[in-house]
A and B are shown apart, each in its own frame.
Chain A
Amino acid sequence: MNREKLSRRDFLIRGAGAGIAAAGLGIISTPKVLMAAVGSVITGPLYLAIAKGGDPASNTMRAIQALGGIEKFVKKGDKVAIKPNPATANRSEVASTTNPDVVETVVKMCFRAGASDVVVLSHDAERNFQRDGIGDAASRAGARVLAAISRDLYRPVDVFRGRLLENVEIIGDLLDADVFINIPIAKHHSATDVTLSMKNLMGINWNRVYFHQNGLHQAIADLSTVAKPDLIVMDANRILLTNGPNGPGQTRDDKMVIAGTDPVAVDAYATTLFNRAPENISHIQYAYELGVGEIDLKKLNIKEFAVG
């Protein structure tokens, strides 16, 4: 099957799904971050923890620890739903999918905190989970893996705060969970310029075609008003800079994990890894306008932790 078929059909018929290069090429510098002492915990209303320099597992643990530890989010007996990005059937070296070590680490931490059930889920085929290693990593750590490719696994949810969407169908296991952890990878995307945490939510929803046809950026922002994760652990250990979302393309080893609770803030920070301004990535700007979170990097309490 030609995965470009949709584009081929649309091309010369209508202008949907374009915008590869038009959005946000303004170059801005990475915001100043404060180097925090090892072992310290960040406090304050809007904060991001950035752990860098170590291997993916160590970076993950340090970033979550800096937010107060996984126990702050997962209580004994909780059901946890984890959404990685397994959206391409590529090996993790290509950096088009979440690093399996990051997923495995978070699953283990959840169980250590007393989670009764952890499910790693996404609207992607089982072969994606297999090929990118996320499925094995999650299973090793004791999680269930749910390749949610059947519509009966989804339940309708009303969207009252969205501008475009009025309802969506979301994976039932996620709706039933006590805790939702989003584990995206930071990467380039031909349609949205970047794929970060909010774009990763596309994979908890059933009808992606509607998103593409009716306004991808707005639909992503709208979805963020009803699917707010309790914790976001963004994998930026190796980021895909070009030819996303599938790759292969140019990659860079940033050896970094960004953790936070505000999706707009996490994504706003992550845009700087791609030399973009968050305001120029439409879905981040739209989510800010809808009150999903904070886009102004100057208002964020960002702390960086050296690992290793």
Chain B
Amino acid sequence: MTVKMLVSIDLSENSLRAVDYVGAMLACHSDAEVTLLHVIKEPSPDILLDDAERHEQVEKLRVEMLALMEEAAKRLTSRGIVEKRVCLKIQACKSPVSVAELILAEQELGGYGTIVVGRRGMSKKEEFLFGSVSSKVVREARHCAVWVVE
């Protein structure tokens, strides 16, 4: 059976650590399929009023993120994962969304057997106020494994 993994990454160092971990674990599964997923949250129009400025900010993030994802993909292929089996996905969202819910929806849609998320090491207070993507993914994921990389 093909190993299919969905790896959620952001601009943090932790994300690259998660990718390295996936690379190490899949070194003996050269036929594994890995999708790197990033969600760009467009600034709220309540905060950034100008449409053009908002669009510009999203595009800037997209370029930054793509460079990081390409770097992440290289790290995977250097471990022996076939290049064409590494897929990069960037989703830009206009309205407030739960990143965890998007990851879970993508997992279901793509039939991934494993979700990989990094954990940022939030404090209890931060988790209360802002919520934690990794905690929500762990709590709500069904029919798949979840790896949380610290």
Instruction: Indicate, yes or no, whether A interacts with B.
Output: no
